[in-house]
Amino acid sequence: MCSAPHSVVGRCMTMCPEAEIRFRLASNMVHALEKSEQDNSENPEDIRNRMVKEYTRPAAGTNHLHPDILRPPKILLSTVRYLVNLYKREKAKQFNLVYNFVCDRFRAVRQDMILQDISAAEALRILEAMIPFYLETDYICRTRNCDVYDWKLHSTQMEECLSRWAEAMEVVPYDSASIPTLCAYILQGIPSSTALQDLYAWKRYLDYNIFCILRDIIIAFRGNNYVRFFRRLSELPGDITVVAAVEAVRILRQRALYTITTAYKSPAVKIPKSTLGRWLQYDDISDILSHLGVPCSDFVPISSIDLSAIPNDDSRKLLSVICLSKSNTC
């Protein structure tokens, strides 16, 4: 972790510092998710217990290092778990609201971590509780309409979590490794030119079978072997967050379409829609084909595929969808 300018230990034993609670209550700045649905009859003490520290940028005249507004690692971890459970409970009903709320409060958690310069072991536990949220919401917002999603900001925050996690992993005991998080870290980095090198750097943490699957996935991606890529991706254990590979999936499907249209460019050539769906690992490829200008038919005239439509946002969303037989991601 980055060193803070002064050694400080947080003394705030609640999710939100008392001073912020008083200020936000007095200013009517309590977030909707910190209230109950029956707010008029709500006990003020219950609202206080649900309030979570907001993210604020350091500013002149404010003391961000005051122990009374910093939460120690134990409270940070319980806060993250509370926020994750809140997200799971609310995402189906009000995704945009809970996504924005949790992202902001997670930034405040990481800020408290940095200002206190907490230990690597403590950072690891907090980040591992946080990372699945970023991976899942990144996938959801890449494959569906999400008004509050800022790709650049989300990618920056996710990269911050993953890089700090990797940094902490290098100094904690070997048996502290979370294999699902490590696999997600590797899958998320597949498009990087150093992906294979990174995998070998983490080899000692991985079961040999999982290592081989990940190696084959990366090599298949580099070689544009989309059939092998999707087959090996589907062979990862069920506890691995496969949606971490969303960017690699989108890129490879796009490459595959360019390859297929080049190989079968004769106007007379038609490929069964089911075959094309199997190659691209897509249960019902009709949606993708309709966005690429292909008429609905059981046989696809490859020459009719309009690749100029790929940069379209809707096409990119469809190309990012992950459909694996062993996964619940589709």
Rounded to the nearest 5 degrees, what angle is found at the Cα of 222, between the Cα atoms of 261 and 168?
A: 140
* pLDDT one digit per residue (tens) for the chain, 330 residues: 444 445 789 999 999 999 999 999 999 999 999 987 655 556 677 899 999 999 998 765 577 889 999 999 999 999 999 999 999 999 999 999 999 999 999 999 999 999 998 999 999 999 999 999 999 999 999 999 899 999 999 999 999 999 999 999 999 988 888 999 999 999 999 999 999 999 999 999 999 999 999 999 999 999 999 999 999 999 999 888 999 999 999 999 999 999 999 999 888 899 999 999 999 999 889 889 988 888 888 999 998 898 888 878 888 899 999 986 544 344
What are phi and psi for residue 137, nearest 5 degrees? -70, -30
Beta bridge partners of 301: 270
Listing DSSP states for 253-311 in one string gives: HHHHHHHHHHHT-STT-EEEHHHHHHHTT-S-THHHHHHTTPPS-SEEEGGG--GGGTT
- Strand, coil or helix: 320: helix
Residues 207, 208, 213, 218, CA torsion sign = positive
pLDDT given at position 328: 39
Unique residue bearing structure tokens 């001073």: 19
Residues 255 and 235: their CA atoms lie apart, in Å, by 22
Where do the domains of the chain lie?
Answer: 1-169, 256-320
Contact 164, 134 (CB under 8 A): no
pLDDT given at position 127: 98
Measuring CA to CA, which residue among 6, 126, 15 is closest to residue 70?
15
pLDDT given at position 3: 46
